[in-house]
Structure 1
Amino acid sequence: MLKKCMGDPSVILPTANIENKDTLSYGEIPVQILDRQVRKLRTKKVASVKVLWRNQFVEEVTWEAEEDVKKRYPHIFKSEENADQGTNSLLSTL
């Protein structure tokens, strides 16, 4: 049930004194690539990567086009390649 609320004018803040910056945002930085997949369409194949972003949980990862992520964040793929090479060299020694 709703009740009528009587406003208290002494609690209201004046909005003229509050200053907001236009850029109330932060840049998302990818932390890790969790998975890769290639989706086959009728005429082409689209490579996608599952990206874990900073300040997000694993449940909030997003699928991004691999080409776009490589252009914007090449350092992630370099670290992935180094890790793969280390694994391959370890396997070759066995």
Structure 2
Amino acid sequence: MGEKKLLGPEIVQAIADKANIIRAKLKAAQDRQKSFMNVRSKDLEFEVGDRVLLKLSPWKGVVRFGKRGKLSPRYIEPYEIIKRIGSVAYRINLPEELSGIHDVFYVSMLRKYISDPSHVLETPEIELRDNLSYNEQPVQILGREEKRLCNKTIPLVKVLWRNHLIEEAT
């Protein structure tokens, strides 16, 4: 019996006040997010002749470039920009095997490629037989260990092979 009931224009005014509070809080949150983004974002512009990496959009369940899931590449090959189409669109020179993809891309899909000699991997010369196999040659023993089981002891040896790095020793 002691409750106060809102009637008529008082209900409308209370709802309008609540809506204004909600709008103000949403505006404050949007402004905060916008200020964070503006500090971190960069306006990218490319010139004709620049080399850029092409971003792959991850499609669930689609295997691209031989890898699936986390190991699939995010960006592929440096490609040359042929023409600037708009303020954020560029035409890229793609090889024949990618001819099914659009040749016009937006800035968000590109990353500038900076040439670095350390990106080139040197591969050692490997002598192949006629059946395309090769003979592994041990170079050095890196470590010895004994694995003890219940009834026996197994000697383990870590070997560095001729055409492999130390990290690839078995």
More helix, by proportion: 1
Query: Over alpha carbons, which structure has the higher Rg?
Result: 2
